[in-house]
Amino acid sequence: MKGKLGIITGALDENSIAWKAALKAHEQGGRFVLTNAPIAMRMGAIKELAEQCNTIVIPADATSLEDIEKLYIEAREYLGGNFDFLLHSIGMSPNIRKGRSYGDLNYEWAAKSYDVSSVSFHKMMQVAEKMDAMNEWGSILGLSYIAAQRVYPFYTDMADAKALLESIARGYGYRYGKLKKVRVNTISQSPTKTTAGTGIGGFDTFYNFADSMSPLGNASAEACADYIITMFSDLTRMVTMQNLFHDGGYSNTGISEDIMNKFMDL
Ligand SMILES: NC(=O)c1ccc[n+]([C@@H]2O[C@H](COP(=O)([O-])OP(=O)(O)OC[C@H]3O[C@@H](n4cnc5c(N)ncnc54)[C@H](O)[C@@H]3O)[C@@H](O)[C@H]2O)c1
């Protein structure tokens, strides 16, 4: 990461995946700007992270093209160059927050879920392309969840948002690869105890279930940060347009002995 410049979105508090990724990127010699929605800024924690990483925070709502443009202009000025890495670590569903089931979605809120959690990924790349803000062989990452492929009933409209996010990674990955050798991928992470994660109904149950299913157990936020840094490094330059499972083996496990044992006495 030495000499690499970038932007890290989504660090809300010390549990956030982006928080761990920022600490790791800093430790590995990367330089970056932190950003989050103006409302998240009021909670203040991100400023402590900025101090630890010797950087600044630039507020930006990831659904606003103007905010993204301003973010890139200020970040380029502060860092003194174009970006080698962008981390999109953003997710939010008003339907989940307000406990609406998949058969009772508020469609305005669903549109907000898609805009915040998926379309913002496209917006970040489209603005970067128009401003020519990425360096050649740069790496762009989003964070996904296996509900994009399989049904997790409580994940409701976020499942559709993640399917869209992964599709955008393929679509833009092709385009940015051709244009500038920039790679675009999503990391599909295990359930993780963060604000976004624990907001989902039944989280503790499917956290424990996934842990029992995975031969390596659930991947922690720290382990996810390691994978993020790996994907930002030059060692993964030919990986693009992929959804990469980072889940301790969960996605390829049909059943585990642990789960079987739980049903033994029934
Ligand atoms: N926690 C899990 O179980 C889990 C599993 C797989 C994938 N993910 C994904 O990881 C990513 C990071 O989430 P997390 O688990 O670290 O939780 P988190 O709550 O710490 O992070 C979510 C972030 O999104 C930001 N955000 C919301 N609306 C925004 C907007 N309009 N503009 C800019 N930022 C905005 C929030 O302020 C917050 O910092 C999300 O995409 C999430 O879906 C999480």
d(Cα 201, Cα 174) in Å, to the nearest integer? 35
Q: What is the pLDDT of residues 89-143, one digit of tens each?
A: 999 999 999 999 999 999 999 999 999 999 999 999 999 999 999 999 999 999 9
Pinpoint the alpha helices (H) of 34-64: 38-41, 45-52
Ligand 1 atom closest to the CA of 13, numbered from 1: 20
Q: Give the DSSP H or E segment for 44.
A: none
The mean pLDDT of the chain is 96
Q: Which of 22, 11, 225, 251 is nearest to 145 (CA)?
A: 251
Q: Could you tell me which residue, 44 or 118, shows the higher pLDDT?
A: 118
Q: How is residue 118 written in tokens?
A: 């998926």
Specify the ligand 1 atom closest to the Cα of 11: 39
Q: What's the average model confidence in pLDDT over 135-162?
A: 97
Pocket test for ligand 1, best of 89, 121, 245, 250 (most atoms within 8 A of CB): 89
Give the tens place of pLDDT for each residue, 221-238: 999 999 999 999 999 999
Q: For 117-128, b where at least 16 C-beta lie within 10 A, e where not — what string?
A: bbbbbbbbbebb
Among 7, 33, 115, 143, residue to substitute to test ligand 1 (most atoms within 8 Å of Cβ): 143
Residue 18 reports pLDDT greater than 70: yes
What strand order describes the sheet that includes 134-144?
31-35, 5-9, 83-88, 134-144, 183-189, 243-246
pLDDT reported for residue 264: 85
SS3 breakdown of the chain: % helix, strand, coil, rounded to 5? 55, 15, 30
